Amino acid sequence: MSMARATTGRLDAALPPGSPEREIFTELLSRPGLRIERIVSRGQCSPPGFWYDQPQGEWVLLQAGAALLQIEGEAEPRRLQPGDWIDLPPRCRHRVTWTDPEEPTLWLAVHYAVDVPL
């Protein structure tokens, strides 16, 4: 009989020092219909005119730092602070308009398929 091994880690482990040129994406777990990733931003935002428009849902928790997230059709961006989360359904167009340039903004993003039977 094969024993599965449990894995552990820390979401805030090895945060990059300084201000990297781009966001850092680290896949933490991937299964059919599910992908969990850590995103570290430090002053980065979506390019002008760019909108995320994903076929899967995305549940996001802001663990550290701060960000402004614009949802298409909403007049003002939503301010996210540590502990805030948002569930973005498939095709919910959104963009990051600002992240804190002084400290890392740490995101936990859970991408999920909506058409996978449980």
pTM: 0.87
Residue partners of 111: CB distance under 8 A and separation at least 6: 34, 35, 36, 37, 54, 56, 57, 58
Taking only the tens place, the pLDDT of each residue in 78-116 is 999 999 999 999 999 999 999 999 999 999 999 999 876
| Residue 17: other Cβ atoms inside 10 A | 8
Q: Domain 24-112: which topology? A: Jelly Rolls (2.60.120)
Residue with tokens 């398929």: 113
| Cα–Cα–Cα angle for 84, 90, 96, rounded to 5 degrees | 45
Cα distance between residue 64 and residue 77, in whole Å? 18
Q: Parse the chain into domains and list their residue ranges.
A: 24-112
End-to-end CA distance of the chain: 26
Q: What is the pLDDT of residue 118?
A: 56
Taking only the tens place, the pLDDT of each residue in 2-59 is 688 898 888 888 776 666 778 889 999 999 999 999 999 999 999 999 999 999 999 9
Cα distance between residue 46 and residue 23, in whole Å? 10
